[in-house]
A = this chain, B = another copy of it.
């Protein structure tokens, strides 16, 4: 297999995406934003969307006041010093607790992600004066990405790819990094095994977390704080291999040595 590397990649913010509400049509918001920015979609463009706007459009907000914590959640909440209702939601989104200590709760999300708080977000969710809300991950981020990819490709008449971005903390390294929790239209892992190196020797470690590298790149423009630039176009990439969702980036627990 041989890959022509890109010579130049652009990362462009789609300007003026408004605050997203339940049932908003992200395709319409993106189309309007692109027009506003004078950005004409091209085949092979990757649309990176912040998880937050996808979750909001899908109505994944939960009012904290509506949650009744279990005994397990109350006990764990005391240990990690978090709101028991939040902990209840974290547990309901998870298959196991990986690490718990004051201020920190790392779980294995039902989708396999090892992450803090099951990805439940408390910032930029509650409206001023409104009831306190939190935001869960999309139910099926790869499915959401596939639908968006299909609709965006149809809308613009060119094949585009979609990534849904989140920011994860990491073992061994400080600081969060953008990762892909959903993807469609590109290989999430790029397998270069079997490509000879420049001297004809077979390459060693050479499966790249391609969609994660794109997500990290998109995060540079997206930021992670506010929702000002939640949609970003990554342009000029070239890839090989079959299109697969971001679930293939999840290392199965049985293969993993660090949980």
Residues of A in contact with B (beta carbons under 8 Å apart):
3, 5-13, 15, 19, 99, 101, 106, 113-114, 116, 121-124, 126-128, 167, 169-179, 188-190, 192, 195, 197-210, 212-214, 216-217, 219-229, 237, 248-251, 256-259
Most buried by B among A5, A212, A220, A226: A220
Report yes or no: B173 in contact with A7, Cβ–Cβ below 8 A.
Answer: no
Known contacts A172-B259, A199-B127, A201-B123; A221/B9 CB under 8 A:
yes
Most buried by B among A128, A204, A256: A204
C-alpha spacing A207/B126, complex, angstroms: 22
Report yes or no: B229 in contact with A199, Cβ–Cβ below 8 A.
Answer: no
Give the chain B neighbours of A113 by CB distance below 8 A. 172
Query: B7, B127, B177: which contacts A216 (Cβ < 8 A)?
Result: B177
Q: Taking the nearest CB of chain B, how far is it from the CB of A40, in angstroms?
A: 15
Instruction: Say how many copies of this protein the assembly contains.
Output: 2
Report yes or no: B256 in contact with A172, Cβ–Cβ below 8 A.
Answer: yes
Question: Could you give 21 example pairs across A and B, Cβ below 8 Å?
Answer: A5-B222, A8-B13, A9-B217, A9-B220, A122-B201, A123-B199, A123-B203, A123-B204, A127-B199, A128-B199, A167-B208, A172-B251, A172-B258, A173-B251, A174-B248, A174-B251, A175-B212, A176-B205, A206-B224, A214-B220, A217-B217
Report yes or no: A9 in contact with B8, Cβ–Cβ below 8 A.
Answer: no
